[in-house]
Amino acid sequence: MTCEISIILPAKNESASLETLLPELCQHYPNAEIIVVDDGSTDNTVEICTRNEVQVVSHVYSMGNGAAIKSGARIAAGRILVFMDDDGQHDPYDISRLVEKINSGSDMVVGARQMDSHASLARRIGNTIYNRLASWMTGYPVEDLTSGFRAAKARHFRKFLYLLPNKFSYPTTSTMAFFRSGLPVGYVPIKALSRSGDRKSHIRLFHDGFRFLIIILKIGALFSPMRFFLPISALLMTTGLVYYGYTYINWGRLTNMSAILFLSSLFTFLIGIVSEQISALHYKDIEESKRGTVRD
């Protein structure tokens, strides 16, 4: 059986917030399929889900936020998948706004947190840097790269499950994948609420911030290879020319270092071209699906 909306919540030891959140979701979206993915919780998460008569999927051990998202997406019956955190940060009323924008033509809609929604100045600065870097990588404006509150058409989102990492960076990967595939991504401004109870974020600012940066670079190499490799190739070529000019003026010859820099520039450029061709293979099914939709 299929339904219109499936709401997927990855959960790990957040029973206190689920006590409040699940009744609200059931009340406001009685026709939606609600799936809680218990990612190795040691509290009474399963009991609370059973009490509220929502579907629960349990991991035998903690596999990560991204793994929970993938588990929920695989079994969801809805045409539209809505992903939200289980810690009370996301307002259930905003779900209807995301779905409305999906029905207006977007294939993915992200709940973009406003600047005053971030817990600290460091997070605001960090997210601004990530958003601008991601915008340059993809060639499209990215308003909130790491927001976990989003909705997407199930048939498109599932095509990228094999690309999604098992940890916290699934929003980064899914956003860039949709952009690279030419699938329209929309944004709805939201205000993130305070976390329920005294629990703190599972994300460590400096450790995970550096990891997000590495992931952006990896995804840039995978989804927009020439945007990644071409500047590196140009930098190596420029350095080689400058060094060659210096050595020619002083010693009147081409040094081995200049030759190495020139060859490195050429090899980097060629790697970018090959990567661009390999990257296109990831979107073969998407293109065929889009052509099939147009014919229908």
- Please name the residue that has the structure tokens 């840039």: 220
Provide the token pair at 165.
């990492």
Edge-to-edge order in the sheet of strand 3-11 = 55-59, 33-39, 3-11, 78-83, 150-153, 108-113, 185-190
CB contact set of 112 (below 8 Å; sequence gap of 6+)? 143, 144, 147, 187, 188, 189, 190
* Strand pairing category for 185-190 and 108-113: parallel
- Whether 50 and 56 have beta carbons less than 8 Å apart is answered as yes
pTM, rounded to two decimals: 0.80
For 277, counting Cβ atoms within 10 Å of its Cβ (0-12 exposed, 13-18 middle, 19+ buried), the class is: exposed
Delimit the domains of the chain by residue range.
Answer: 3-222, 225-295
List the alpha helices (DSSP H) in 29-93: 45-51, 65-75
Q: Which CATH class is domain 3-222?
A: alpha beta
Nearest Cα neighbor of 63 from 90, 40, 96, 84 is 40
Q: Which residue has the tokens 């289980």?
A: 86
Q: What is the pLDDT along the chain (296 residues), one digit of tens a residue?
A: 457 999 999 999 989 999 999 999 999 999 999 999 999 999 999 999 999 999 999 999 999 999 999 999 999 999 999 999 888 889 999 999 999 999 999 999 999 988 666 556 666 777 788 788 888 877 788 888 888 999 999 999 999 898 888 877 788 889 988 988 889 999 999 987 766 554 555 555 555 667 766 777 767 776 778 888 999 999 999 999 999 999 999 988 888 999 999 999 999 999 999 888 877 776 666 555 555 554 43
**How far is 280 from 276, CA to CA, in rounded Å?**
6
